[in-house]
Amino acid sequence: MRQPIHSDNAPAAIGPYSQAIRAGNTVYLSGQTPMDPKTGQLVEGDIAVQARRALDNLKSVCEAAGGSFDQVVRIGLYLTDLGDFATVNAVMADYFSAPYPARSTIEVAGLPKGADFEVDAIMVLA
């Protein structure tokens, strides 16, 4: 059974998908870009600002599902420039603690609305 998860503190989906879906104890979190949930516009700023906004959006959806970043088991990072890898790592250190989730980092040609960063995740609830 699939249970949709929604947070008003994260941007509304811009297509035919849910912010997250819970199946049993597992929550599959859709990608979050650095969109301001109030305006629906990308935040202005460097990659650190964009990563923080996207991670804040993801955190809001985790909380709406009844969880936290401590329960994230896998995270996917999507960057338009792998030259920003070290900066994004530093930002992630402010959001996650050991044991860290499994992770992939992928350079992409483009992201929705011209974002430079996107993040998705899988969370397992107790």
What secondary structure, in 3-state letters, does 1-20 show?
Answer: CCEEECCCCCCCCCCCCCCE
Domain ranges, ordered by start, for the chain: 3-124
Percent of the chain topping pLDDT 90: 96
Which of 10-19, 50-59, 74-83, 85-94 has the least mean pLDDT? Answer: 10-19
Beta-bridge partners for 35: 42
Identify the pLDDT of residue 16.
Answer: 94
Q: Which CATH architecture has domain 3-124?
A: 2-Layer Sandwich (3.30)
Identify the pLDDT of residue 14.
Answer: 82
